[in-house]
Structure 1
Amino acid sequence: MSALASASRLAAVLALLLPAAAAAAPRVVSINLCADQLVLALADPWQVLAVGRLAADPALSAMHREAARVPATGGSAEEVMRLGPDIVVSGAAQQRKTNALLVRMGFRVLALGAPDDVEGVAAMIGDVAAALEQEARGRHLAAALRADFRPPPGPAGATALVWRPNGFVSGKGTLSDAALAAAGLANQAALAGIGAWGTMPLERLVADPPDILVIDDHMPTKSSRAQALLVHPALARLAPPMRVGQVPTAEWLCPGPWMRAAVDRLRALARP
Structure 2
Amino acid sequence: MVASSILAAAPAAGAPPERIVSLNMCTDELVLRLADAGRIASVTWLSQDPRNANMAETARRVPANHGLVEQVLALKPDLVIAGAYTTRATVGLLKRVGVTPREFGVPRNLAEMRAQIREMAALLGEPARGEALVAGIDARLDALAARSPARPLRAIVLRPNGFTVGRGSLVDEILTRAGLVNIAAELGIDSYGQIPLETVALSGAEVLVLNDTPDGPPSLAHEVLHHPVIERLAGRLRLVALPSRLWTCAGPSVVDAIEHLVRATEANP
Which of the numbers 241, 256, 264 marks the counterpart of 1:261?
A: 256
Superposed, which structure 2 residues align to 1:49-128 within 5 Å?
A: 49-128=41-120
CA apart distance, 1:138: 1.1
Q: Distance in 2 between matches of 1:222 and 1:32?
A: 21
Residues 221 and 110 from structure 1, CA distance in 2 versus in 1: closer, same or farther, beyond 3 angstroms?
closer
Q: CA-to-partner distance for each residue in 1:74-114, whole Å, 9 max, x for gaps? A: 22122111111110111122122322332343335211111
Secondary structure at 2:230 match in 1: helix
Residue of structure 2 in register with 1:15 after alignment: none
* TM-score, normalising length: structure 1: 0.84
Structure 1 position 164 matched with structure 2 position 159: yes
Q: CA-to-partner distance for each residue in 1:129-182, whole Å, 9 max, x for gaps? A: 111101111122233334545673777511111111222111123111111111
* 1:42–1:129 CA contact under 8 A, matched in 2: yes
Sequence identity of aligned pairs in percent?
38
CA apart distance, 1:208: 2.5
Q: Distance in 1 between matches of 2:217 and 2:125?
A: 45
Q: For structure 2, which runs of at least 5 residues remain unmatched after alignment?
A: 1-11
Query: Which contiguous aligned blocks of 4+ residues in structure 1 show a shift greater than 6 angstroms?
Result: 219-222
Number of paired residues? 252
RMSD: 2.6
Q: Which has the larger radius of gyration?
A: 1
Q: Distance in 2 between matches of 1:132 and 1:24?
A: 9
Secondary structure at 2:164 match in 1: strand
Residue of structure 2 in register with 1:25 after alignment: 16
* TM-score, normalising length: structure 2: 0.84
Q: Distance in 1 between matches of 2:157 and 2:130?
A: 29
Q: Distance in 1 between matches of 2:215 and 2:53?
A: 18
Residues 93 and 217 from structure 1, CA distance in 2 versus in 1: closer, same or farther, beyond 3 angstroms?
closer
